[in-house]
Structure 1
Amino acid sequence: MPNLIKQKNAAGKLIEFNMVKHTADEIYHRTHADKGEHQSLFQGQGKILLALSQTDGLSQKDLATQLSLTAQSTAEFVNKLVKKHLVTKEKSTTDRRKTVIRLTSAGRKSATKESAKVPEYLKNLTDTELDQLSAILTKMNDSLYNEISTANPSWYDKFHDSITDRLRDWFL
């Protein structure tokens, strides 16, 4: 059984994090509002640009796997990026069944802008710590979703669909 004092301390740290993050977001919003920037960080298209900036020339299937996206979502995001002239699609020279996605020069610039949007507090974490944080937050979110579902199943369905749609575009 987990230590109640440790649980209380962790709850306090979560509350503190939410308060500090809210304040930081407010400051960011005030200092960037006049530049037309917004805080919709890590949209699906942005994640694809970031992945390609680290390894350009990935197949569409590899992108989907690396980013934990469905093939359909990946294709949708890639097609939008092609229309914006940020990436190109070409058939692989070694396997004609594969479509290879490459950044354009405009895509590279956009990827650089996307990487600058990673919050500083996450840049201090190692890959292992980021994986641990993601796993912990997933576990906490699942527990909260279960509480909501138990309390009001019909409201949960609407809420979960809304969150899933928003997250699909922002983070997934």
Structure 2
Amino acid sequence: MDKRNYQEEIVTGKLTEFEIVNRIYDDIFKQSKNSQKITTQGQGKILLLLSQENRLREKEIAKELDMSPQSVGEFVNKLQKKNMVEIFRSEKDKRIKLVSITSTGLSALDSIDEDIPNFVKVLSDKDLENLEQIYSKMIDSMYDSINENSSNIINKIHKFFANKYKKEFHGDK
């Protein structure tokens, strides 16, 4: 085995180890830290939308976030139980229920991805710069591979989500 292959195997092993340890780290530190903490997934997306356009119908939330009305209903109910949103009737039409973000919901938004893990804080400025460049190269290569491999329906679905995340993290590059 040449030196290059050996280094690639070592790095692959370290990435696998990092993924496993990172899951454990997240379970211990992120979830135990704050039971009200939310992510940028379903509930977080709804809070983000409501922080920009408050007092929306569930139907409008579903359309804006490209989610099913059932999912939005479930997420809104969970957020209401956590006192992060309020549901009230429209003054113009009492049949219409509107969803509004609360101060608790706004506070929860401030906590999304705000914490920088200790294992990142130990890196020097140069280490952070190098790591960012390395991850960027690897991620770009992964996006390229995903886009090239969309022959069956499952791969097409993966391609759809990969492109959605690429836009989310990198804009319209």
Q: TM-score, normalised by structure 1?
A: 0.49
Pair member with larger Rg: 2
Q: Work out which structure has the larger RCO, using CA pairs closer than 8 Å and 6 or more positions apart in sequence.
A: 1
